[in-house]
Structure 1
Amino acid sequence: MTGLPDLEGWAVFARVAESGSFAAAARSLGLSAPTVSKIMARLEHRLGTTLFQRSARHLSLTAEGAECLERARRILSEGEGLETELREGVAAPRGMIRLAVPMTFGREVLGPVLPGFLERYPEITLEMDLDDGVVDLLGGRFEAAIRITSGLLRPAVSGQAFLLCRSVTRLVCSERFRRDLPDVAVPEDLAGRPGLLYANAAVPDFLRLKHADGRQASVRLKGRVSANSGDMLLPAIRAGLGIALLPDFMLKPDLREGRVVEVLPGWTGNDLSVWFIVPGCGVTRARMSARLRVLLAYLERVLGEIVSQDYSAGQEKTR
């Protein structure tokens, strides 16, 4: 015998045995009596034996049918239980979400807002993997990921991408380092200056900048320190070792407290887009699990209020 077992046939067999007739089983299953009869005939043909003794007024199990009944009942019960659990999961989101997140964004942005999500959905648990590198979502068995791209470029992944928010990158250094920069008025004046470089950028030491008035410029720094995590660069910036181009969401506390300053106010680097990625083909919001759907909705609302608001404020400030 090849192919999958006839699970539908076994489930119908169990319901017929419990109901005592094809007609009663058909009513409980929402099927017609002829359909139930055909399903049973198909199963018996597959097995090469009969499971019921039939007469005009009476239906009883054969010896083979009696031998199979308990396991058939388990098949029916397991299927009903599985569907019930899934329906309840849709009604009340629950379960584990394994989420891949860029390191600094996870620590600085997601970390502070996720407690509110977990309080709202107590049946959901989170397992976050913080890594600035490219992660194999399917191979790593991640249900979702946060990805950050330049501009509005969609992430090059197999799956569906939902835009969460936008941010901006700023050119910063320490106040002491800025005082030691003579006559710096435009980006070209920074050529060859010590740079603290984000190693995951396409060309870490080559910076493309734009001004709020529409001007564009590019400059190449002299690499002093490079790292694949922006967090590793912040101490070097504060210590006055050079200039860095980093996301607004990472710099906000240091800018507020005066530990770093903008090198050329009005000039910014690439805009950034933050995406929620669900791996797999044909994924839509409606077809996500309930737990992913509520996480996406929560992040769209909260990050739109926090990060994109900072982005908009920053754009206004430089005009």
Structure 2
Amino acid sequence: MLPDLEGWAVFARVAESGSFASAARTLGLSPPTVSKVIARLEHRLKTTLFQRSARHLSLTSAGVACLERARRMLADGEGLEAELREGSVSPRGTIRLAAPMGFGLDILGPVLPEFMDRYPDISMEIDLDDRTVDLLSGRFEAAVRITPGDFAPVTNGGAHLLCRSVMRLVCSPQMKERLGTIEKPEDLSGNAGLLYANSDLPDLLRLTHESGQQASVRLRSRMMVNSGDMLLPALRNGSGLALLPDFMLRRDLDAGRLVEVLPKWRGSVLSVWFMVVGCGATRMQMPARLRVLLAYLEQALGGKISQDYSAAQEKTR
């Protein structure tokens, strides 16, 4: 039998939008039709892809395993049709992109050279800023935004999930030795903190144990800045503790320059979105240059969904 390509496309859109109703609006279908397509796909696979409740929709472990390949199938199909309609298989033009400073330096910077090699007729203008820039000013046609949890950013175009990250509490090995025995978050109260100023309450750390238990701890500010990258030298120097996204910390953790404090506790889960500005929510409504960038970033960053996040999701099912 041929694969159920329609089913996989609808599955990808439901997972991306977070609900059957939102996916139905994006696809121009009714919610019952979307529900029937997913039920048909699950029956065909003899497995459940979504965990459903009255207020929440989440992926099962089988759904998580299938999502990235389903998104690629959808992106490839939409991109092929749109390029053929436009009469061009070589996207061209300038992409004006806004992105957070840390994510741009640590994640986008290393992966974009291959994209530029692949599409020599596309040029890029990138603005890195941790502040939320005005996307209606006309300066940008796309942006990368990071939100807590699964909340999609509000946009007049479309928001497409790229990857997820987890906030980790870290310090230098020397500072961890000075801290002595730390068994629970409250044991850290009043310690020196290296704080991210764009948080609502920079000195108050909200943490969740792998069991689901929640706690908060207030640190004493030693440094507060609006760029997570500027905190890294002070972290390595042992000047304080910080709660930062794992994409920013991975190289230092792997090299042993930083270590986790209370490794069974985590900060919030972050979702990274690709937003398009001033065009429709579907890929087919995007200019070809944005479509291929989105497809490339989905492929390049899809494997960066935190293993810790996936494990945490598994424990809650």
Q: TM-score, normalised by structure 1?
A: 0.69
Higher relative contact order (CA 8 A, sep 6+): 2
Equivalent pair of 1:170/1:248 in contact (CA under 8 Å): yes
For each residue in 1:33-67, what CA deviation from the matched residue of structure 2 results, as whole angstroms up to 9, or x when unmatched? xxxxxxxxxxxxxxxxxxxxxxxxxxxxxxxxxxx
* 1-structure distance, mates of 2:308, 2:140: 34
Matched residue, 1:201: 199
Equivalent pair of 2:141/2:278 in contact (CA under 8 Å): no
For each residue in 1:128-184, what CA deviation from the matched residue of structure 2 results, as whole angstroms up to 9, or x when unmatched? 111111111231421100001111111133331111111101000011111111331
Q: How far did residue 281 of structure 1 move?
A: 5.7
Matched residue, 2:63: none
* 2-structure distance, mates of 1:142, 1:292: 12
| Identical pairs, percent | 60
- Mapping of 1:169-208 within 5 angstroms? 169-208=167-206
> Match of 1:299, as an amino acid?
L
Match of 2:256 among 254, 258, 264: 258
* 1-structure distance, mates of 2:229, 2:268: 19
> Match of 2:220, as an amino acid?
K
Equivalent pair of 1:195/1:242 in contact (CA under 8 Å): yes
Matched residue, 1:87: 86
Q: How many residues align?
A: 230
Match of 1:150 among 139, 148, 152: 148
Equivalent pair of 1:147/1:275 in contact (CA under 8 Å): yes
Give ranges in structure 2 of 5+ residues lacking alignment: 1-84
> Match of 1:161, as an amino acid?
A
Change beyond 3 A, Cα 1:176–1:266: same
Matched residue, 1:27: none
Equivalent pair of 2:159/2:281 in contact (CA under 8 Å): no
Equivalent pair of 2:162/2:302 in contact (CA under 8 Å): yes
The SS at the match of 1:159 is coil
1:312 pairs with 2:307: yes
Change beyond 3 A, Cα 1:140–1:226: farther
Change beyond 3 A, Cα 1:175–1:125: same
Q: How far did residue 246 of structure 1 move?
A: 0.3
The SS at the match of 2:233 is helix
Matched residue, 2:269: 271
Equivalent pair of 2:279/2:286 in contact (CA under 8 Å): no
The SS at the match of 1:286 is helix
> Aligned-residue CA RMSD in angstroms?
1.9
* 2-structure distance, mates of 1:208, 1:159: 32
Matched residue, 1:163: 161
Q: TM-score, normalised by structure 2?
A: 0.69
Matched residue, 2:130: 132
Give ranges in structure 1 of 5+ residues lacking alignment: 1-85
Larger Rg: 1
Matched residue, 2:223: 225
> Match of 1:134, as an amino acid?
T
> Match of 1:188, as an amino acid?
E
* 2-structure distance, mates of 1:295, 1:282: 16
> Match of 1:87, as an amino acid?
E
Matched residue, 1:55: none
Matched residue, 1:117: 115
* 2-structure distance, mates of 1:315, 1:202: 26
* 2-structure distance, mates of 1:259, 1:143: 38
Equivalent pair of 1:147/1:274 in contact (CA under 8 Å): yes
* 1-structure distance, mates of 2:223, 2:275: 31
